[in-house]
């Protein structure tokens, strides 16, 4: 049980500081550090085939200092050689050796690797996916599609990964299974690899990878989004995720032949695309027709903290489900407050117990509100219910353990102000409930109002049908993108709060660990939902490019909740475009979007040049020498949304759309102009006469005289036919 709760501290979002990044984490006794090295290929040679292995190693080794390559006693310093994601390698060097390497012709850059953090059912039904009916059935549940999961490994014998009813993998599959027992891989789990930080086995050591894999493509136990898709798992994380291993996994997945890459991890700080190796790997994958879905990060509700924001990546934020696992606090004055808890003991007393808030008793102790063990030792909590505030550098589970250790009977957790109404259902070590910030304040007021405050906790089990949902999770990272403000990010939101999926460990001292499931939260959970949706779309539309799949998802997203009211954020106010992107994913509508905004890989070249990158920097991304003789503004990229900075001068951009609906279909335009902006579109009607026909329209944005400076305003273009409804989001910064 102790191991389980130590792992929870890794994969659950604790506070907005829970993601971290460190540099130079790979020092050994000789002051060696793992560097990611980018180089040019000799004579424009590319390395993509296994027969090039000798040439690759020879070329890469030529960059290493001679003292390394000429010494028989020197251990192998090469960590990984990359062939697909970019031209380069990871190697262990001293800083002096890096300076020597920089003198070599063909050298581009070297920097210490980063440590990358993980971004930590009922959801198929919530997304409108029903067995033997509709889109799920029409897409064959993702049959024939291979989803690559880059994460912390997998527990292969979990029933979610049974291959019952699964066909053999497609003939293009080139991967392998690194488990040391023959029954580990099957027609569902067709591949499992580990990399150096994976400790010699693809076995999941913390649960995160098993959970994300089953969310994306678990079989019909608690079904994943694409239950008949194949899974290929690449273990790159144990207690941390090594950047060099993540790149190696992406490199291998591309060579293995995956169709979708699902990556629920990322850095806390954004880097330019030429220095963001996940973005580089995703670009190479996209060029080969692989769809890449990544988590947006868990640093909400604050703006400008996105991860994985490149335009060739689907950047996924997190939302809630309509399911609550209810635990209710009942105060001595009969006020009730509904919260959540997975662990719901049947024998817990319903009697009123003394209720205390340590912060009121130890007002000089900064950590007292967070039920810090040191603070609790100053207070008599035996037999009492303790009110604790989430945060303070101690996890929610650890707070409960601290209360239990000093004899507390139960715990009420309340949110800090920033998290407002986002509550999480977790497996606590004692009876508890997790409440919103507002409800917590009411409980504090009650405690202050009486000499003998009391409370009880009652449990109601699972409640389904909360029409306020989906709601954007407080932790879900928000835009705008700092790297490329002309691209709207995140792209989409999907279920990421209290997601039930496969888990490799017992969570309640249950010895039958083969069929355990657990509920966890994070954009790590929303990302595989969208990876599964992409697999369904690729199965249903094998000729669609990654950009076409992304466009279908974005332009068909929902803007309203189950009550048909605007989707809200954690404060229960309408969510901004930087919280939801295009909106909440609607898989069935995405299967029939009408038309799509397609982007060919070469179209990113002028976009990248327009970011004022140097020729060499753009060349690192494109893996060839380039000359930025032409460029376009960011907003001119054929993206299925608009994100622009508008001053007094009007701006005009064009979009090219491709018909994937009816052969003969006419769309008429409705413009919802952002406040303070006049939007003119030419033409205002799109008439297609055949499938795959392309049409172009132009949009001119004019700023109105009375508009305010330094504000963001949002609107949309809505193209409607008799059958389809295509929405293109707009956000304008009035500068």
Catalytic residue numbers?
151, 208, 524
Distance in angstroms (rounded) separating the CA atoms of residues 125 and 277:
35
Distance in angstroms (rounded) separating the CA atoms of residues 641 and 487:
8
Calculate Rg over the CA atoms of the chain.
Answer: 26
Distance in angstroms (rounded) separating the CA atoms of residues 680 and 650:
11
Contact criterion met (CB below 8 Å) for 142 and 136: no
Total residues found in the chain within this entry: 735
Residue 319 host element (H or E): strand 314-319
Q: How far is CA 162 from the centre of its chain?
A: 25
For β-strands 115-118 and 107-112, DSSP reports them as unpaired
Helix/strand/coil (H/E/C) assignment for every residue in 487-508 = CCCCCEEEECCCEEEECCCCCC
Q: Which of 660, 656, 532 is nearest to 592 (CA)?
A: 660
For β-strands 725-734 and 189-194, DSSP reports them as unpaired
Looking up tokens 């027969």 gives 51
Residue 125 host element (H or E): helix 123-126
For β-strands 88-93 and 33-39, DSSP reports them as antiparallel
Contact criterion met (CB below 8 Å) for 117 and 241: yes
Distance in angstroms (rounded) separating the CA atoms of residues 135 and 536:
8
Supply angle C-alpha 676, 677, 679, rounded to 5: 155
Residues 6+ apart with CB under 8 A from 498: 320, 321, 323, 325, 340, 424, 425, 519, 521
Q: SS3 for 3?
A: helix
Cis peptide before 301 (omega within 30 of 0): yes
Distance in angstroms (rounded) separating the CA atoms of residues 140 and 161:
17
What the block records as the tokens of 515 is 């069929």
Burial of 157 (0-12, 13-18, 19+ CB in 10 A): middle
Region of 522 (left: φ > 0; alpha: ψ -120 to 50; beta: rest) is: left
Count other C-beta atoms under 10 Å from residue 169's C-beta. 21
Distance in angstroms (rounded) separating the CA atoms of residues 292 and 263:
8
Q: Which of 206, 148, 158, 197 is nearest to 25 (CA)?
A: 197
What the block records as the tokens of 195 is 């990399």
Distance in angstroms (rounded) separating the CA atoms of residues 223 and 385:
38
Could you tell me the end-to-end alpha-carbon distance of the chain, in angstroms, rounded to an integer?
A: 54
Contact criterion met (CB below 8 Å) for 563 and 468: yes
Distance in angstroms (rounded) separating the CA atoms of residues 540 and 289:
15
Residues 6+ apart with CB under 8 A from 288: 84, 254
Q: What are phi and psi of 554, to 5 degrees?
A: -70, -45
Whole-angstrom CA distances from 280 to 246, 273, 287, 308, 731 are: 12, 7, 11, 11, 27
Distance in angstroms (rounded) separating the CA atoms of residues 294 and 489:
12
């Amino acid at each position: 049980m102790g191991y389980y709760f130590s792992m929870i501290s890794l994969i659950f979002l604790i506070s907005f500081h829970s993601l971290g990044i460190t540099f130079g984490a790979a020092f050994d006794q000789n002051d060696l550090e793992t560097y990611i090295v980018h180089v040019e290929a000799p004579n424009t040679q590319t390395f993509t085939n296994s027969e090039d292995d000798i040439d690759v190693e020879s070329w890469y080794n030529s960059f290493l200092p001679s003292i390394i390559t000429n010494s028989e006693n020197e251990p192998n310093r090469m960590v990984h050689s990359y062939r697909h994601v970019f031209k380069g390698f990871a190697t262990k060097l001293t800083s002096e050796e890096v300076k020597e390497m920089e003198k070599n012709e063909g050298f581009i850059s070297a920097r210490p690797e980063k440590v990358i953090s993980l971004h930590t059912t009922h959801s198929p039904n919530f997304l409108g996916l029903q067995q033997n009916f509709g889109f799920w059935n029409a897409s064959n549940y993702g049959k024939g599609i291979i989803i690559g999961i880059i994460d912390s490994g997998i527990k292969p014998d979990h029933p979610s990964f049974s291959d019952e009813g699964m066909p053999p993998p497609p003939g293009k599959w080139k991967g392998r299974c690194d488990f040391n027992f023959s029954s580990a891989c099957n027609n569902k789990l067709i591949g499992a690899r580990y990399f150096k930080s994976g400790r010699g086995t693809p076995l999941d050591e913390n649960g995160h990878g098993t959970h994300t894999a089953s969310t994306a493509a678990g079989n019909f136990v608690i079904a994943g989004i694409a239950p008949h898709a194949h899974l290929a798992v690449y273990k790159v994380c144990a207690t941390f995720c090594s950047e060099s291993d993540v790149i190696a996994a992406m490199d291998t997945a591309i060579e293995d032949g995956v169709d979708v890459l699902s990556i629920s991890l990322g850095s806390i700080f954004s880097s330019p695309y030429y220095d963001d190796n996940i973005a580089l790997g995703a670009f190479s994958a996209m060029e080969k027709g692989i769809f890449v879905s990544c988590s947006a990060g868990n640093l909400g509700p604050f703006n400008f903290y996105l991860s994985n924001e490149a335009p060739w990546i689907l950047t996924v934020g997190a939302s809630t489900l309509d399911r609550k696992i209810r635990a209710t606090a009942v105060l001595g004055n009969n006020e009730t407050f509904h919260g959540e808890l997975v662990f719901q003991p049947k024998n817990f007393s319903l009697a009123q117990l003394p209720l205390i808030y340590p912060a009121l008793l130890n007002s000089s102790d900064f950590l007292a509100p967070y039920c810090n063990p040191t603070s609790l030792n100053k207070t008599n909590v035996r037999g009492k219910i303790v009110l604790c505030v989430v945060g303070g550098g101690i996890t929610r589970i650890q707070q409960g353990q601290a209360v239990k250790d000093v004899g507390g009977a139960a715990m009420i957790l309340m949110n800090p102000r920033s998290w407002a109404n986002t509550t999480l259902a977790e497996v606590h070590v004692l009876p508890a409930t997790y409440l919103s910030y507002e409800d917590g304040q009411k409980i504090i007021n009650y405690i202050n109002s009486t000499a003998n405050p009391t409370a009880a906790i009652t449990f109601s089990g699972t409640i389904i049908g909360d029409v306020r949902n989906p709601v954007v999770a407080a932790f879900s990272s928000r835009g705008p993108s700092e790297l490329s403000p002309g691209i709207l990010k995140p792209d989409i939101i999907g279920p990421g709060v209290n997601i039930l999926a496969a888990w490799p460990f017992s969570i309640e001292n249950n010895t039958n660990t083969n069929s355990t499931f657990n509920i966890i939260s994070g954009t790590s959970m929303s990302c595989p939902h969208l990876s599964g949706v992409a697999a369904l779309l690729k199965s249903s539309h094998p000729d669609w490019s990654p950009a076409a799949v992304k466009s279908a998802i974005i332009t068909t997203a929902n803007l309203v909740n189950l009550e048909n009211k605007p989707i809200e954020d954690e404060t229960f106010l309408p969510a901004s475009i930087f919280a939801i992107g295009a909106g909440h994913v609607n898989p069935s509508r995405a299967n029939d979007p009408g038309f799509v905004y397609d982007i060919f890989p070469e179209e990113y070249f002028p976009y990248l040049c327009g970011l004022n990158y140097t020729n060499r920097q753009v060349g690192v991304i494109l893996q060839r020498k380039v000359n930025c003789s032409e460029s376009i503004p960011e907003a001119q990229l054929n993206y299925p949304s608009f994100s622009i900075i508008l001053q007094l001068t009007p701006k005009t951009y064009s979009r090219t759309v491709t018909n994937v609906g009816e052969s003969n279909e006419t769309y008429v335009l409705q413009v919802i102009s952002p406040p303070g902006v006049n939007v003119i579109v030419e033409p205002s009607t799109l008439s297609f006469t055949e499938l795959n026909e392309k049409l172009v329209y132009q949009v001119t944005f004019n700023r109105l005289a009375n508009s305010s400076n330094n504000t963001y305003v949002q609107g949309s273009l809505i193209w409607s036919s008799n059958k389809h409804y295509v929405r293109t989001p707009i956000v304008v910064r009035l500068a």
